[in-house]
C-alpha cells in the first residue's frame, strides 16, 4: 500500500495536525519496510529531517527503541545534530531504561565519528539539554546496560568533571539502584578521573614543577 501511494506521487513531506510525517510515524513504531519505501521514493531527501510540532524528527523517535531504524536513517542523511533547546538523539538513547539504549548510542557515535572530526564529536557527546549531558542521562537511566553506556561515552571523551546540582558524575553514579551496576560505574568513572588527573599532573610537572593532582571523590 505504501509503495502504491508513493508510486502515485504522494507527498512524503505531508504533515498531519501534530506535524508528523510518514517518516516520523514510521520511525516511532519501528516500521523498517515503510521507511525503506519512503527513502526509495524520496530521492531528494526532503522528508527525512522534518520535525513535528514538538520538535521531534524521525531519528529522535527511532532513538528511543529501534537500532536498525536508527542505522537506516543515519545512512540516508538523517541529521544527528540538534537545534538549540532540543534533545539530541544521543541523549534520548542514553536515557532509555531498556537494554538497547547502549546499542543505539554506539550506532549514533560511530556514525558521527566517521562523518566529522574528533572535536565536533566531543562537542556532540557533551551537549546538554536542561543542563543534562548524555553521560548524566545514562547514569540516571538505571538500565541494565548502564555500564556499557558509561564506558562508551568515556571512549568518546565525555566530560566526567561536569556537575549537576552540585554533584559530580562519580557522586551521582553512587545513586544507581542496582548494586552491581553502581559498583562498576563508580569504578569506571574513578579510574577515568584518576587517569586524566595523572596526565594533567605529568603535564604540569613538565611545565612548572610538581602539583598535587585532584583525587576522585
Range of the domain at 9: 1-59
The total of structural domains in the chain comes to 1
We report the CATH number of the domain holding residue 6 as 1.25.40.20
Decide if 9 is inside a domain: yes
- Predicted confidence (pLDDT) at residue 106 exceeds the cutoff of 70: yes
Cα separation, 202 vs 81, whole angstroms: 35
- How far apart are the C-alpha atoms of 93 and 64, rounded to whole Å? 5
Structural domain includes residue 124 = no
Residue 100 lies in a domain: no
Count CB-CB contacts under 10 A for residue 88: 25
The residue assigned the cell 510518514 is: 22
Hey, how many other C-beta atoms are within 10 angstroms of the C-beta on 190?
17
What does the mean pLDDT of the chain come to?
91
**How far is 175 from 63, CA to CA, in rounded Å?**
25
CA distance 59 to 28: 9
Residue 8 counted as domain residue: yes
**What's the pLDDT tens digit per position in 36-59?**
999 998 988 999 999 999 999 999
Is residue 12 a part of any domain in this protein?
Answer: yes
- Evaluate whether residue 165 is within a structural domain: no
State pLDDT tens for residues 130-142. Answer: 999 999 999 999 9
With a CB cutoff of 8 Å and minimum separation 6, the contacts of 97 are: 141, 142, 143
Strands (E) in the chain, as ranges, are: 163-164, 167-168
**In this structure, is residue 39 part of a structural domain?**
yes
Q: Work out the number of other CB atoms within 10 angstroms of the CB of residue 199.
A: 11
The predicted model scores a pTM of: 0.89
In a domain, 13, yes or no: yes
Among 14-23, 102-111, 200-209, name the one with the lowest average pLDDT. 200-209
169 CB-contact burial (10 Å; exposed 0-12 / middle 13-18 / buried 19+): buried
Amino acid at each position: 500500500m505504501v509503495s502504491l501511494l508513493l508510486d502515485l506521487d504522494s507527498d512524503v513531506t505531508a504533515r498531519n495536525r501534530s506535524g508528523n510525517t510518514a517518516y516520523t510515524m514510521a520511525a516511532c513504531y519501528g516500521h523498517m519496510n515503510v521507511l525503506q519505501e519512503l527513502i526509495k521514493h524520496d530521492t531528494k531527501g526532503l522528508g527525512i529531517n522534518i520535525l513535528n510540532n514538538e520538535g521531534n524528527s524521525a531519528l529522535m523517535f527511532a532513538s528511543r527503541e529501534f537500532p536498525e531504524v536508527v542505522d537506516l536513517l543515519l545512512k540516508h542523511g538523517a541529521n544527528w545534530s540538534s537545534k538549540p533547546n532540543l534533545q539530541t538523539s544521543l541523549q534520548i538513547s542514553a536515557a532509555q531504561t531498556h537494554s538497547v539504549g547502549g546499542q543505539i548510542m554506539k550506532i549514533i557515535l560511530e556514525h558521527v565519528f566517521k562523518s566529522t572530526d574528533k572535536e565536533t564529536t566531543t562537542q556532540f557527546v557533551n551537549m546538554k539539554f536542561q543542563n543534562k549531558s548524555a553521560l548524566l542521562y545514562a547514569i540516571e537511566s538505571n538500565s541494565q546496560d548502564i555500564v556499557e553506556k558509561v564506558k562508551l561515552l568515556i571512549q568518546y571523551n565525555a566530560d566526567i568533571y561536569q556537575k549537576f546540582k552540585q554533584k559530580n558524575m562519580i557522586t551521582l553514579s553512587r545513586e544507581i539502584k542496582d548494586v552491581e551496576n553502581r559498583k562498576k560505574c563508580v569504578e569506571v568513572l574513578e579510574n577515568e578521573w584518576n587517569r586524566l588527573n595523572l596526565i594533567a599532573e605529568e603535564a604540569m610537572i613538565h611545565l612548572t614543577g610538581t602539583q598535587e593532582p585532584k583525587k576522585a571523590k
